[in-house]
Amino acid sequence: MDRFAKVLALHYDANRTLHCYYRQWRLIHEHFETDPDLLTQDQLRDYFLFVKLEKHWKPKSIRQALAAARLSWVTPPRYLHRRRRSRSVLAVAGRCAW
């Protein structure tokens, strides 16, 4: 859970997003009573079927939980490995539709 909190801190600045994603991850943790990093994709699929069919979550809540779960398998944020390309003024001006 601590690793997930650090990943969230790298990816998002909005407090509400951090809180909601961490809450979703905590619910997954409580459901399986194990570290969520050790879960397989089949276990997560079963969890999402459970919350959809048995807990009757709305689609928006399920999408939010899916987004939170995806963060555990994500590479570092894009801004950490983005390369800056030098663009000449002519190259940028050539793309503009005058």
Structure tokens at 76: 């570092």
pLDDT digits (tens, 9 = 90+) for 56-75: 999 999 998 998 888 766 54
Answer whether residue 82 is part of any domain: no
> Rounded to whole angstroms, how far apart are CA atoms 56 and 34?
23
Report the CATH number at residue 33: 1.10.150
Answer whether residue 57 is part of any domain: yes
- Per-residue pLDDT at 31 exceeds 90: yes
pLDDT digits (tens, 9 = 90+) for 39-59: 888 999 999 999 999 999 999
Answer whether residue 71 is part of any domain: yes
Structure tokens at 94: 């050539």
Give the pLDDT of residue 49: 95
> Rounded to whole angstroms, how far apart are CA atoms 67 and 96?
35
Instruction: Name the residue range of residue 6's domain.
Output: 2-77
Number of domain units in the chain? 1
Which distant-in-sequence residues (6+ apart) come within 8 Å of 37 by Cβ?
A: 3, 4, 72
pTM of the model: 0.64
